[in-house]
Amino acid sequence: EAGVVQSPRYKIIEKKQPVAFWCNPISGHNTLYWYLQNLGQGPELLIRYENEEAVDDSQLPKDRFSAERLKGVDSTLKIQPAELGDSAVYLCASGKTRYNEQFFGPGTRLTVL
């Protein structure tokens, strides 16, 4: 069974540029999570989807961050414009439901110059 797929694995951009991350969850998993992991820290939840509905986006900085999961499968997380402080690893996770184990992807490491 394929795991959670994320792309790109690495991204380097200049500040004020837009950037997007893509996540393909494990097949059949209805719940999808985006986390932010700063260097030397544990992951922090940004947004949780149940199917195509964002059920918890309280930690998502909505002035510059947006996310979508249009068909309830793949998801995209976007930052526009990026700031220096956005440099971090962005993790995607999925689970059959929110009651089940979360499986994590390898993450996208973003560097903003």
Is 83 near other proteins (CB under 8 A)? no
Confirm or reject binding of residue 91 to other proteins (CB under 8 A).
Answer: yes
The binder of other proteins chosen from 52, 56, 57, 74 (CB under 8 A): 56
HEC string for the chain? CCCCEEECCEEEECCCCCEEEEEECCCCCCEEEEEEECCCCCCEEEEEEECCEEEECCCCCCCCEEEECCCCCCEEEEECCCCHHHCEEEEEEEECCCCCCCEECCCEEEEEC
Q: Is 43 in the site for other proteins (CB under 8 A)?
A: yes
What's the min distance (Å) between Cβ of 100 and other proteins? 8
Q: Binding of other proteins at residue 95 (CB under 8 A)? A: yes
Cβ nearer to other proteins, comparing 59 with 76: 59
Give me the residues that bind other proteins (CB under 8 A), please. 3-4, 31, 33, 40-45, 48, 56, 91, 93, 95, 98-99, 101-107
